[in-house]
Structure 1
Amino acid sequence: MKPWLLAIAAALCLITLPWAAFAEPPMPLTPAADNPAAHLGEPTAAKIAAGLAAHRAFYKLTLDTSHGGDVIAATGTMSYEVMDACDGWAVQQRLDMTITNRDGQDVRMVSDYATWESKDGLRMRFRMRQTTDAATTEVTSGEASVDHPGGAGEVRYSLPKVNVQKLPAGTLFPMWHTATIIAAAEQGKKVLALPLFDGTGDTGAQDTSVVITSWHKPEPFRFAPLAALPSGNVHVAFFDRTPDASEPDYEVGMHYWENGVADQLNMDFGDFVMQGKLDQFKLASPHHC
C-alpha cells in the first residue's frame, strides 16, 4: 500500500480515462514576485499558493469498498496540519488504519509523514515512516529541489539509502501541486498531467493525471471559514514513471476548497477503498513573520 499523504478530499466515482490522449501540459510554476498576473484577478498557481491556509484537520476513515481481496473490514483516522513557517510550509500528517483480513486478523498500518516546502516551490525536505503492527516497513527521508520554476531538479535521499535521482522538468512538490490543480479548476480546465514528487517513496517523481469534474461557487457548509469559498471535485491517478506503467499505482477522489483544505476523501488502494470525512477543522491563527 502506498502511503499517499497530502491534503485530500471528497468522495468521487473513480474515473478511468485514456490519460495520454487528453492530458494538457503542466501549468507554469511562476512565483508571485515574478508574475504580475498573480497580483490581478487571474487565478494563477502563484496566487492560489499564496492563499493556501495554515490549518489543522482530522478525518475519520471507513471502508467504502473491498474488491474481493483479503480485506473484509477497515477503520482509521488521518490527522493533517499545515503550519506557516514564513519562508515555507511545514506539514505533518498521520494516517492510522486497522485492517481486518479474511482470517479475522487485525493489522494496524501507520504512516507518519512530515515535510517542509519553500513557498516559491523550489525546495523541499521530507521524512516518512510506515509501520505495520509496530514493525517499521518503509522509511524515506531527504531533500529535493528544482533548478527554477518549471525546471528539472534532483532528490537527494538519506534513507532508506544514500541516493540521488533526477526530477523531470515541471516537477511540483505537494503544496504547489495542490495550488496548480485549484488554479486550473478556477480557469475552467478539466484535465492536467503533472509530475509530482512528495517524498513518500524512494523512486523519485511520479506522474499524476488529474480530472477536475466540478468547480462550484460558495455554498453553505458546516465549517464557516470554508463556506465563503468556491470548491470542487477532483480525481487524481498516480503512475510510476516506467514504460510499462499503464495502470495507476494509486487513485484518490478529492473535494478541494480554494484555500487548499479538503473536507472528504476517497482513497483507492487497489484491493480496497477507504472513505473519510472531515470530523474536526480549525484555521491557524494569523502568523506574523
Structure 2
Amino acid sequence: MISRRGFSAAILSVLAASSLTPAFAQTPAGLVPHRAVYNLELAEASERSGISNMFGRMVYEFTGSACAGWRVNFRFVTQLDSGGEKKTTDQQSSTFEDPKSGRFEFESRTYNEDRLEKEVNGFAERNPEGIAVDITSPEEKQVDLANARFPTQHTLDVLNIAAKGQHFYEARIFDGSDDGDKTLATSTVVGSPVATEADAKDLKAIGALKDEKAWPVTIAYFDDGKMSDALPNYRMSFKLYPNGVSRDLTMDYGDFVLKGSLVKLDMLPGETCKSK
C-alpha cells in the first residue's frame, strides 16, 4: 500500500478475493497476504516530458505478519516511447520490516533493456536518536537519519486516521528508495468513504469488495524539509478499504501521469500471531 523505488511509494496493501472469509487469514494488523497485478497506462503527459506513450505492468506481493515481520516484493516493468525511441525499464525490489526489533531491510535492482543499471542493498535500524542506515551495496556507507516511519507502519497509520474519521496526516518515511540514504516527507489527505463505481474497470478483480465503501486517499511525497515551500516529487491517489486493500491508482509525476488498474489478485498463505 508506497518511494518504494519511485513508482511504489504509496502503494498500500492490496487485497482481492471472491469472498472475505476467515480462510484468508488476515494478520492481526488487518493486512492480508496477497499478490496483486496492475496494468498501467499513460493518462497524460506534457510536451516537456517528451513522452508520447507509456505502459507497463506492476506486481506487488505482500506477506508476513505483525509478529513475524512484513515482506514486500515488488516488480515494475514499463515501456516508454519518446520521440520514436522505445525504452524498457524493469524495477525490482524486496523489503523486510520487523515492527518488534525496529529493523528494515531493503534491496533493489533497476534494469534498462535487460542491462543492470543500478543496485542498492542495505538495512536500517531504529534507535533512540533516530534511524541508523547501513548501505552494503553498491559501496559500504553509514548514514544517521531523523526518526521516520517505515512503509508498512505508514500504511497502518493511514488506516488508523481514516478509521477515526480524520482527514489529514503528515509523517516522515524511510523506505530505502533511490540510494537508500534519505527520508521523505509525506502529506496525506483522506476523503469520506465512497462506494465502488458501477462501471469500474477492476470490478471483477476486487470481488466481494465491490459492495464495500473505500476512502479516497492522496499522498504527496516531498524531499525532507521542503514540504512547506516546494511542489511534491510525486503524488499517489487511490481508493483504500478498511482492511488495507487499495485500487484505482493514479501516479502523478508532474510532467506525466500514470493510471493503474487492478487486473489479478491471488491470496497467499497467512499466519496468526499467537499470544504467549
The aligned counterpart of 2:19 is none
The aligned counterpart of 1:8 is 11
Write the distance in 2 (CA, Å) between the matches of 1:236 and 1:121. 27
Superposed, 1:46-195 pairs within 5 Å as 50-68=29-47, 69-84=49-64, 87-102=68-83, 104-120=84-100, 122-147=102-127, 152-169=130-147, 171-195=148-172
Write the distance in 2 (CA, Å) between the matches of 1:66 and 1:188. 35
Identity %: 27
Residue correspondences, number = 248
State the Cα deviation string for residues 95-144 of structure 1 (Å, max 9, x = none): 10001002x11111111010111144821101111122223333221111
Moved more, 60-69 or 200-209: 200-209
The aligned counterpart of 1:19 is none
The aligned counterpart of 2:217 is 234
Contact 1:127 1:142 in 2 (8 A): yes
SS at match of 1:71: coil
* Match status 1:259 vs 2:258: no
Give 1:256 shift. Answer: 1.5
Give 1:158 shift. Answer: 1.0
Give 1:181 shift. Answer: 0.8
User: 2:74 is aligned with what amino acid?
Assistant: Q
The aligned counterpart of 2:18 is none
Write the distance in 1 (CA, Å) between the matches of 2:120 and 2:192. 35
The aligned counterpart of 2:16 is none
Question: 1:132 and 1:174, CA in 2 relative to 1: closer, same or farther beyond 3 A?
Answer: same
Give 1:243 shift. Answer: 5.2
Write the distance in 2 (CA, Å) between the matches of 1:187 and 1:217. 18
Runs of 4+ in 1 over 6 A off after TM superposition: 217-220
Question: 1:82 and 1:129, CA in 2 relative to 1: closer, same or farther beyond 3 A?
Answer: same
Write the distance in 2 (CA, Å) between the matches of 1:98 and 1:251. 21
The aligned counterpart of 1:12 is none
Give 1:228 shift. Answer: 6.4
- TM-score, L = length of structure 2: 0.80
Runs of at least 5 residues in structure 1 that lack an aligned partner in the other structure: 10-47
- TM-score, L = length of structure 1: 0.77
Write the distance in 2 (CA, Å) between the matches of 1:243 and 1:146. 23
The aligned counterpart of 1:36 is none
Contact 2:42 2:258 in 1 (8 A): yes
